[in-house]
């Protein structure tokens, strides 16, 4: 008996092949190291996809069932290191949250258009495993009745947000690059990062952050931003967009319309941005305009309220005046719009989980990222189309944008990656050396009393490293303080590490003071110091011993404002606890390099925020 399903699959496979034949063929990122080919031509934009490809993609969409069309709109998490054989604990998580056992079953049942990788979902053990997982997901996509490859994505901002750790290359994060001030370095860092992601089958990166961090109390953006100067941020954003997309990865600027001026975290609440329309245009818009001008492939929304842009006080993710009126019409953006995670509290406070995805599509979103309950969200969109609340034309408009991006990235041509490509690209010596060189330009020296720095092995041979050791995806050989101690050891110093944490007890402070006896210098890693933080007491009591103290801010440069008057001898900002930035800071402290970074944000006095302690652009050297 003739099987019409087999016939349909054959027809659609042929259609996909035809699309591939005329689609833009992105050069595989693994084919050449960006460190060795910095002058490669910029990646093509979706607008460059041919009219014939658009026509074929439209015919492909017309053959999809409604369930397949709705599925293309979703980007979902899936637990496990393998698409078909995850560990039992991950099978249990998938069953509990989505009613499927594996990523492959998720694709088969819901026809999702994308998968997002997380370390906590056990997706990112090592580069070869990631490549195998990506290939398994793509096989599942092409095994559907309507064969469509998937957009595999992650948040690899670098700095404090990195889902893929070593042995992949970790380059400096946004604010560190902002301190370095080199657009060339920013672009090169993104090319390295993008090439390595592409080699592992990750083709959409939720970076760069385009938020302008003008609020020192911002708990969610902070050092994820390039800085407080809108034009400087715009330049960095454009450079990184070109770097990522030049390596064959879709970049995603976020979080539109701008999450930089808030003291609330949209993961846990719904922040309000009180900028006027004029302030928004001056402060928040420039980086997004720059990203669009650079040919950005996708833009992520923010779960924030901006009354000046939408008086209805809807979260931007669900706001048609913001996403269609401002982003699409005023800024002229016609690429993919992806929501921030729909599991975040900021988007769930005003509407239920069944309404959020429908309202996001009505507002102008294309991709629905990581809803907390996929069956609820998927069925809600399906119902909205069947009931006529969402028109088929509106849904197909988003699907076309998504498929055009897949075609541009070469996924219809060949979505698979190889171990050989991974080995040729990920964590290469050239990439690691480039990351170290870029990091050397970011370390910022804020204070240097009595010329304490640089220290030398003859006068300050014995080093005590104490302080915070926040969890880091890159610190696989020990906490960040151990990274610092090992970096000193590698330069010929004798370093001892003692973790005292972010909230040292009186006993721990006493232990650190005792450990300082006989040492030549103490390096204290500080992390988000507040007015009441015992980290201030730690620095003060260590300084009271008479041993010189170097305060090393391993996240926010604002720490120094809280440490005024504690008696430290020098203060250095790294903007992140990752190995590459900590090693660069140690080389600067030891005089093997000179600190060249300049503050990309102003630092106000802790006791009087109206007064600037260290202005934008400040930075010492020697």
- Rounded Cα distance between 491 and 489, Å, is 5
Burial 271-302, CB ≥16 within 10 A → b, else e: bebebeeeebeebbbbbbbbbbebbbbbbbbb
Enter the DSSP assignment of 410.
T
Q: Which structure tokens are listed for 163? A: 């889902």
- Rounded Cα distance between 620 and 597, Å, is 8
Phi, psi for residue 581 in degrees, rounded to 5 = -80, -35
pLDDT digits (tens, 9 = 90+) for 329-339: 999 999 999 99
- Residues assigned a catalytic role: 340
Q: Which has the closest alpha carbon to 244: 140, 174, 318?
A: 174
CB of 70 closer than 8 Å to CB of 105: no
Q: Which residue has the tokens 């992520």?
A: 300
How many residues in total does the chain contain? 622
Q: What is the average pLDDT across 205-211?
A: 98
Residue ranges per structural domain of the chain? 4-32+40-425, 443-614
CB of 411 closer than 8 Å to CB of 203: yes
pLDDT for the residue 31: 34
- Rounded Cα distance between 289 and 305, Å, is 20
Q: What is the average pLDDT across 409-417?
A: 97
pLDDT for the residue 44: 62
Q: Is the pLDDT of residue 74 over 80?
A: yes
Residues near 276 by Cβ (< 8 Å), separated by ≥ 6? 308
Q: Is the pLDDT of residue 16 over 50?
A: no
Q: Would you identify the CATH topology of the domain 443-614?
A: Rossmann fold (3.40.50)
CATH code of 4-32+40-425, in short, is: 3.20.20.300
Collapsed DSSP state (helix, strand, coil) of residue 60: helix
Tell me the residue ranges of DSSP E strands in 126-249. 151-154, 156-158, 161-162, 204-205
Residue 343 β-bridge partners: none
- Rounded Cα distance between 415 and 403, Å, is 13
- Rounded Cα distance between 465 and 326, Å, is 50
pLDDT digits (tens, 9 = 90+) for 492-542: 999 999 989 899 999 999 999 999 999 999 999 999 999 999 999 999 999
pLDDT for the residue 266: 85
- Rounded Cα distance between 456 and 259, Å, is 43
- Rounded Cα distance between 222 and 220, Å, is 6
């Amino acid at each position: 008996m003739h099987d019409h399903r087999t016939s349909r699959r054959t027809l659609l496979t042929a259609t996909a092949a035809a699309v591939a034949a005329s689609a833009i063929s992105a050069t595989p990122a693994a084919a050449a190291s960006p460190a060795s080919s910095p002058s490669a031509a910029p990646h093509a934009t979706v607008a460059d996809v041919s009219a014939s490809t658009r026509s074929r993609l439209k015919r492909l969409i017309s053959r999809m069932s409604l369930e397949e069309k709705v599925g293309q709109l979703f980007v979902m998490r899936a637990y496990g290191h393998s698409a078909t054989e995850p560990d039992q604990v991950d099978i249990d998580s998938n069953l509990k949250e989505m009613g499927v056992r594996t990523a492959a079953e998720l694709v088969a049942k819901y026809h999702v258009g994308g998968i997002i990788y997380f370390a906590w979902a056990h997706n990112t053990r090592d580069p070869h495993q990631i490549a195998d997982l990506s290939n398994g997901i793509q096989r599942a996509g092409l095994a559907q009745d309507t064969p469509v490859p998937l957009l595999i994505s992650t948040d690899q901002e670098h700095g404090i947000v990195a889902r893929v750790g070593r042995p992949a290359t970790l380059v400096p994060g946004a604010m560190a690059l902002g301190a370095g001030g080199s657009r060339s370095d920013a672009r090169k860092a993104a090319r390295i990062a993008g090439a390595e992601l592409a080699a592992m089958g990750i083709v959409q990166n939720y970076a760069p952050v385009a938020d302008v961090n003008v609020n020192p109390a911002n708990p969610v953006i902070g050092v994820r931003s390039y800085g407080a100067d809108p034009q400087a941020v715009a330049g960095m954003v454009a450079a990184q967009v070109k770097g990522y997309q030049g390596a064959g990865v879709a970049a995603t600027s976020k979080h539109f319309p701008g999450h930089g001026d808030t003291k609330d975290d949209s993961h846990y609440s719904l922040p309000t941005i009180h900028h006027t329309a004029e302030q928004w245009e001056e402060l928040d818009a420039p980086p997004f305009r720059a990203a669009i001008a650079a040919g950005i492939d996708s833009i992520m929304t923010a779960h924030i309220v901006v009354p000046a842009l939408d008086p209805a006080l809807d979260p931007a993710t669900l706001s048609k005046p913001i996403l269609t009126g401002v982003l699409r019409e005023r800024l002229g953006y016609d690429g993919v719009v992806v929501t921030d995670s729909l599991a975040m509290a900021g988007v769930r406070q005003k509407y239920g989980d069944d309404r959020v995805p429908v309202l996001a599509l009505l507002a102008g979103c294309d991709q629905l990222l990581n809803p907390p309950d996929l069956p609820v969200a998927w069925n809600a969109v399906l119902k909205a189309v069947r009931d006529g609340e969402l028109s088929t034309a509106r849904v197909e408009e988003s699907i076309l944008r998504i498929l055009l991006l897949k075609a541009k990235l070469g996924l219809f041509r060949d979505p698979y990656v190889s171990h050989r490509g991974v080995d040729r690209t990920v964590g290469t010596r050239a990439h690691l050396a480039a990351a170290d060189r870029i990091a050397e330009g970011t370390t910022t020296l804020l204070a240097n009393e009595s010329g304490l720095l640089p220290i030398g092995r003859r006068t300050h041979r014995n080093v005590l490293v104490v302080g915070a050791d926040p969890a880091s995806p890159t610190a696989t050989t020990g906490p960040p303080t151990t990274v610092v101690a090992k970096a000193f050891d590698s330069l010929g110093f004798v370093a001892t590490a003692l973790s005292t944490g972010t909230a040292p007890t009186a006993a721990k402070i006493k232990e650190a003071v005792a450990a300082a006896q006989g040492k030549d210098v103490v390096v204290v890693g500080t992390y988000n110091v507040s007015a009441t933080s015992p980290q201030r007491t730690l620095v003060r009591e260590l300084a009271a011993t008479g041993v010189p103290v170097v305060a090393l801010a391993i996240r926010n440069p604002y720490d120094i404002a809280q440490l005024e008057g504690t008696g430290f001898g020098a203060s250095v900002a790294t903007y992140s606890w990752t190995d590459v930035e900590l090693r660069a800071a140690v080389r600067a402290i030891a005089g093997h390099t000179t600190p060249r970074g300049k503050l990309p944000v102003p630092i106000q006095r802790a006791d009087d925020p109206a007064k600037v302690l260290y202005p934008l652009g400040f930075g010492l050297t020697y």
